Structure 1
Amino acid sequence: MAATLFPDNPDFIKRPPFETDELRRCLTNYLDTPFEFDPSGARPLVGNYRWGVYAFFDYDDEPIYVGQTNEQLRTRIRRHLTNQRTDAVAMSVLDPFEVHDIEVWPLPQFQDVDPKKDRTAAMAARLHLDALERRITAQAITNSQFKAILNEKDPPPGELTVEVPPSTRGCIVSDRVREIRGHPDFRIARRALIMSRLAQVISERQVKGGLRRVMLTQAKRLEWLAARRFEATGGARTVPQEGDQDGEE
């Protein structure tokens, strides 16, 4: 009754906040992009492939996370970025709002392989998927200026090597959201917040080395971003001396 009488009352808005809504919209647009390199000649939607590897990149084009799935790229990626049901997000290893681009490497040759119905075919597909994840992870680490990404765990070990298949990459940040979240001071504050949450998780649990490695990598990323911002805004020459009048710039 109240919602009918007061349709503009923000208490009755059912949609999520603007930035969350934009993330969902842009993510859906990306996952619904036709994949141009399917050997069948068809153009299936990127998100509809069952098997594949994916990588997330931040606002500086830095690779920050690599993962794999055999349940469907759409399902796995959305779980990371929209419903916070993965350990990476729940423990503040990965911040969904720091993801700017996504790149995926679908494996069309295994599209009809169902792990629940054909264990032999699924094992072959799994070995191939693990090998591809190792390649993409190594590539991401090499391309990172920190020589590290935010994965808590390393890819499964193995001797198999595979060729990197065609991929597709796209942006999941709208221009309006980029104006808000792209500001370096906002990014510094957000990254520090995520680090504090991760530090809290570590302090409250008996964790393995993976989380501590993530913490170290995040500290390096935060220090680099803060140093870059400091120099860009004038560096040491802008630091006041004792006796100078206080106040903001």
Structure 2
Amino acid sequence: MPDGLRVKTVTISRKADCYYVTLSLEDKSVPLLNSEVKPTSENTLGIDMGLKKFLVTSSGESVTIPQYYRKSQKRLKTLQKRLSKKKKGSQRWLKAVKAVAKQHKKVADKRKDFHFKTANELLSKADVIAHENLNIKGLAKSKLSKSINDAGWGQFLTILTVKAGNAGQKTIAVNPQNTSQDCSICGEKVPKELSQRIHSCPHCGIVIDRDVNAAINIKNRAAGHSVLKARGVRCNSRTVKREAHTIASA
């Protein structure tokens, strides 16, 4: 154990392949970070989480959803079929149970690694990350439960929040109501079906990806602005169209 560090907690857990020991250490030489970052238009990044893309940012970038569970379903089906043919309680049955558990753990480990890497990437781009305050438990009981659980939104947001706090940064959960329907430029409501992936506002003329529009609305709400117009951007002008084209091309 390095000098100057004190063990605060020790957690021992048993998983499919072996036992794990997790140590929580305290280093008093590390100064406390100020996590009271005030969100502004400059230091805030909005993210819109979904099932077509894992997330889309207010700057127009997107992260592909990996679908680790769906990709492993064929392998899991094979292992579970082998398990069903074994006599319960026998050595071969125990071996088959362990094989299924290892496969599930492999999927979970891949998903967790993806979440950590994605969180690190986001926190390298902004001091404040804004996201929707979603009822993930409620959504996980819907018809989309398999896809939502495979994406692991809850785990990702927990990792993002903890890492932001440790780095002196911040996450903000905003009201998700109408983030996809409201225009991020003029604030007018533009109703659209879920199948419509483009936001085309008849009021200000902006044409932009639906998810990017939602991410900008999330960012604006976190920063205290309802729409870009509140920051002095003129609607129905070349300025708006030029900015919209820049975001869509990013």
Question: Aligning the two structures, in what range does the TM-score lie when normalised by the shorter sequence?
Answer: under 0.3
| Superposition TM-score, scaled by structure 1 size | 0.28
Structure having the larger proportion of residues in strand: 2
Higher relative contact order (CA 8 A, sep 6+): 2
TM-score (norm 2): 0.28
Give the helix-richer structure, 1 or 2. Answer: 1
